[in-house]
Amino acid sequence: MSGVISLRDLTKRYGDKVVVDRLSVELAPGKVTGFLGPNGAGKSTTMRMVLGLDRPTAGRALVDGKPYAELSHPMRRVGALLDAKAVHPGHTARTHLTAMARSNGVPLRRVDEVLETVGLTEVAGHRAGKFSLGMGQRLGIAGALLGDPEILMFDEPVNGLDPDGVRWIRGLMRSLAAEGRTVFVSSHLMSEMQDTADQLVVIGKGRLIADAPVADVIEGSSLTAVRVRTPQAAELEQQLLVAGMCVEDRGGDELIVSGGALDRVGGVAHQAGVRINELSQREASLEQAYMELTASSVEFGTPSQADGPPADGMDEKERV
């Protein structure tokens, strides 16, 4: 299988500060893997090490088993958007991409192809210095796609894009993964990642917090729960506790159950002969799950971010 990024005990220290701390993950092709973590968590540094732009202090970052520097045609293996502003402002979109193609042995026909893909054909002769933030991002993405690589890494690609641009990026990443490519993307936009990513790698203070499918991360949130309404609440609560689930008695006929899926809760009720008036799933958002996971890793958090309720307006009473 090609297109695999492997991080093995990857570590980066700046002076006394450990910025990436023994990170071990493997990114598989055919998936969009979202790379999440608070500001300063080490996401960009990790991506820079994959690209050979920063040297690991210890451990390894490998592309199909080799460090980036040892790849024979690196641009045809890995395409990256790290900093969209890293384009000479006097160059046009076309001259910028042509120079990149020439110096990397990429066929020149790719220039027009990628300009078309990112929607910049009409402005290909305009100077990059005059581009809006969104156009600059699109040009950066065109550069990443130029070598038709099997691995794509995007560091916060939706930065500065309008809703139309955000939707376009989502479609692009999904289609790149559907073609069997490895897509590794960092973002702070949780709703976007919930819709786009298959897998998530979450880090905090350089350490791995989670490496799991999006659905599993959401399911792991304490806010993902089952709501039950029954006239026999006390009786059902007892049976659910025996079955090892956590139950919050909301008073009246309502119970909130975590640690058990909808069908398990229904099964316990059925076995106990308890009448059910409502059985519904309450699913946490990725943002809520993420806030719980990273609460203790926020480096520059404000009380409302790190310690307060999730940023969804749900008050403490509402929480499970």
Ligand X SMILES: Nc1ncnc2c1ncn2[C@@H]1O[C@H](COP(=O)(O)OP(=O)(O)OP(=O)(O)O)[C@@H](O)[C@H]1O
Query: Counting contacts by CB under 6 A, is residue 41 touching ligand X?
Result: yes
Number of residues that bind ligand X (CB under 6 A): 10
CB of 153 to ligand X, least distance (A): 12
Query: Counting contacts by CB under 6 A, is residue 42 touching ligand X?
Result: yes
Return the residue of 2, 24, 39, 271 that touches ligand X, per CB under 6 A. 39
Q: Which is nearer to ligand X, 33 or 44 (CB)?
A: 44
What does DSSP say about strands 78-81 and 151-155: parallel, antiparallel, or unpaired?
parallel
Write out the DSSP string of 217-284. Answer: HHHTSTT-EEEEE-TTHHHHHHHHHHTT-EEEE-STTEEEEESS-HHHHHHHHHHHT---SEEEEE--
Return the residue of 9, 14, 88, 307 that touches ligand X, per CB under 6 A. 14
Query: Counting contacts by CB under 6 A, is residue 45 touching ligand X?
Result: yes
Pair 30, 180: CB distance under 8 Å: yes
Query: Counting contacts by CB under 6 A, is residue 86 touching ligand X?
Result: no
Query: Counting contacts by CB under 6 A, is residue 44 touching ligand X?
Result: yes
Q: Which is nearer to ligand X, 60 or 94 (CB)?
A: 60
- The beta strand positions in the chain, using DSSP E, are 5-14, 17-27, 31-36, 58-63, 78-81, 151-155, 182-186, 199-204, 207-213, 225-229, 246-249, 254-258, 278-282
Binding segment toward ligand X, per CB under 6 A, in 40-48, 140-148, 175-183, 302-310: 40-48
Return the residue of 19, 111, 217, 236 that touches ligand X, per CB under 6 A. 19
Q: Which is nearer to ligand X, 49 or 62 (CB)?
A: 49
The site for ligand X (CB under 6 A) is made up of 14, 19, 37, 39-45
